[in-house]
Structure 1
Amino acid sequence: MKGATLKDVAREADVSIASASRAINGLDNVAEEVRRRVLEAASKLRYVPHGGARSLVMARTNTVGVLLPDIYGEFFSEIIRGVDVAARARGLHLLVSGSHGDINEAVAAVRAMGGRVDGLLVMSPFVDSQDLAAVLPLNLPLVTIASRIGKVEQGSISIDNFGGGVKAVEHLIDQGCKTLAHISGPPSNFEAQERRRGFLEAANTALPGAEHRLFEGDFTEESGYRGAKAFLNACAQTGEPMPEGIFVANDMMAVGCLLALREAGKAVPDEVALVGFDDIPIARFASPPLSTLRVGVFDLGRRGLELLVDAMERDSLSDGEDRESGEGIVVSPELVFRDSSRRRAPPA
């Protein structure tokens, strides 16, 4: 006698096949009432999941590919940690690669992962990332984090970088800063350019006619150090004072900026207030602790993997029935107020 199928269980429980699959596999994004109905239906029909057979039929590898711009530094370590924690909870393995800011390396990495993974989690925040869309496997579930590779139906997570730049400026002005500067990321990175655009729009609106100093960094500590040195040298040459507030496009550069200011004898925040971006773990251990825009780096990785698992479950449905639309998540950066920008006492 032919055994019950997952489709039979879904019909008996009056749910979609995707919901039945998530309940059977113990995933946490299932309503308790749905889970109860599915498990009761499975028991009634004597449904027995056959992991080996299912893997063979669907050619599953139980591995997901993760493509990041780099795998060096606290930001990407936190992304990978979030992905890994969520993957281990689901019995999945990771195949991780870095593109090193080179779109050709990203294309090569995606091609190398073909046939080895059940889905792709991609972070490719480059202006020319549309080129990557041309080589992405059409039949492979895909979720993007902070990427520009076209419409992704399975799911995407993006960051309101423009809004974060605006919040940084508003905070520095609220702390009494009358002159501002910005150390940006590279022009090839659209997230960096959005943070720069937010800075300029907010600064020009709040301080009309003022000149705002800019330095182009590359998201490394060294470039943050060079940026602060460039501001210090310009002030030494012109005799003008240092900008009272500096918004740095990520925390790694902000750490380098702090070091250069300390070496120059500039008091932070009394002479120069500083705000970073990301809130990586080292930010709270800097001296002084770094004010920053928190995006929840660990959660970016965790939520990205969870979206990908959902996409893989939808992709496993036969005949394309019961397919659900992918989710788009926009993360709004949250100001974390620490001593590096605390020029005013909080209200009583």
Structure 2
Amino acid sequence: MARQVTIGDVAKEAGVSIATVSRVLNGQSTVNQAMVDDVRAAAGRLGYRPNAAARGLASGAYRVIGVVVPDLRNPYFTDILESIVAQSKGDGYRVLVSDSGGDVKEELDACRRLRTSVDGLILVSPRMPGDDLRALSADGFPMVLINRQEPSIALPMALADTRSATLELCRHLSGLGHSRVVYMAGSALSWQNRERLRGIHDAREFGFEAAVVEGEPTIEAGYRAASAALDFEPTAIMAYNDLAALGVIARLREIGFKVPNDISVTGFDDIEMARYVRPTLTTAVSLKTQLGEHAWNALRQVLRGQPPIAASLIPSPVVVRESTGPALREATPIS
């Protein structure tokens, strides 16, 4: 039986230290590109695959992909994950999942760990800096991004059209006479949050303005941030996502406000609960199944050695339900 190639063999072949080989294989940015190329070439010549099972060593493929998500408690991400699992399973791949808990360092570490035992990665709503993404992808390791756009990085992307959907939510509220509106933001590190803010900025074209309060994409965060939103005496609150909107509604009820009679509330994502709470939630439909399908199709293309497909921008249609209604009091706009 042939001896398994070790990281020491790769280091000797490339003429570098074991530590350098480790940094290269983990996608760390402290190694220059020429050395990255040398180490990758040496690993290829020797047939080295870290932590590989015998089948992986022989074939050069694990038939496993890694998916990194920020919060598995959020049904939005589990819906996307279910779509990826279903699509990749049909092509004979298994999925390893890592939950970063929204922590940027853990997200990067998870990607580095998974790279040693998977054929490719799908990063769902990654929050890490662009430089870290660039370092992870510098050696051509197959990666796809969901809901993160980095124009300077040549990676396939599957994107929900958050900006246009937010603009339509603003248009809906404006049509109902709402001029005192608060946007309850998501994480400042979130690409989707930045896109929602751009959509609100676009709405200035028809005179729409919104104050911004800090928040996070959870029920508890929405509940807590409702008090800060009420300081602006709004007639409508736009929550970053459906979970935060549910927290807002719970807090409003607790202190005696009726939705939408006193204050309208919108969410984003259209998670299952949005259709069954009372009042049912006006929101934008982020097409989770399609995002997962597009991401897997893009990764599969790369794994097959075919040219990557272009970034997919998937519409997020607005669905109007019971949580929004006319502004029933005269109010001066928030400026």
Give the alignment's TM-score, normalised by structure 1.
0.72
1:260 Cα deviation after fit: 0.9
The amino acid that maps onto 1:174 is G
Q: Distance in 1 between matches of 2:91 and 2:284?
A: 31
CA contact (8 A) 2:184 2:225 kept: yes
**Partner in structure 1 of residue 180 of structure 2:** 179
Q: What is the RMSD computed on CA atoms of the aligned residues? A: 2.4
Q: Distance in 1 between matches of 2:98 and 2:92?
A: 20
CA contact (8 A) 1:133 1:150 kept: no
Q: Distance in 1 between matches of 2:63 and 2:308?
A: 23
Unpaired stretches in structure 1, ≥5 consecutive residues: 1-52, 236-241, 316-322
Larger CA Rg, structure 1 vs 2: 1
Q: Distance in 2 between matches of 1:166 and 1:149?
A: 22
1:184 Cα deviation after fit: 0.7
Q: Distance in 1 between matches of 2:128 and 2:60?
A: 34
Change (3 A) 1:325 1:78: closer
SS of residue in 1 equivalent to 2:237: strand
**Partner in structure 1 of residue 121 of structure 2:** 120
Change (3 A) 1:196 1:154: closer
Q: Alpha-carbon deviations, 1:82-138, whole Å to 9, x = none? A: 111112222211011122233321221121112311111112442624323213362
Change (3 A) 1:61 1:326: same
The amino acid that maps onto 1:229 is S
Q: Distance in 2 between matches of 1:164 and 1:256?
A: 21
**Partner in structure 2 of residue 327 of structure 1:** 310
CA contact (8 A) 2:182 2:237 kept: yes
Runs of 4+ in 1 over 6 A off after TM superposition: none
The amino acid that maps onto 2:275 is R
Q: Are 1:207 and 2:207 counterparts?
A: yes
**Partner in structure 2 of residue 261 of structure 1:** 252
Q: Distance in 2 between matches of 1:126 and 1:159?
A: 16
SS of residue in 2 equivalent to 1:67: strand
CA contact (8 A) 2:134 2:153 kept: no
Q: Distance in 2 between matches of 1:109 and 1:137?
A: 17
Change (3 A) 1:69 1:137: farther
Change (3 A) 1:117 1:299: same
Give the alignment's TM-score, normalised by structure 2.
0.75
CA contact (8 A) 2:184 2:229 kept: no
Q: How does 1:145-160 map to 2 (within 5 A)?
A: 145-149=146-150, 151=152, 153=154, 155-160=156-161
1:145 Cα deviation after fit: 0.7
Change (3 A) 1:296 1:329: same
CA contact (8 A) 2:223 2:247 kept: yes
SS of residue in 1 equivalent to 2:137: coil
The amino acid that maps onto 1:255 is L
**Partner in structure 1 of residue 222 of structure 2:** 224
Q: Distance in 2 between matches of 1:214 and 1:164?
A: 18
Q: Alpha-carbon deviations, 1:202-258, whole Å to 9, x = none? A: 1x44337x6x332110111111112222233x26xxxxxx31222111111001011
The amino acid that maps onto 1:144 is L
Q: How many residues align?
A: 274
CA contact (8 A) 2:65 2:94 kept: yes
Change (3 A) 1:185 1:227: same
Percent identity for Structure 1 against Structure 2: 29
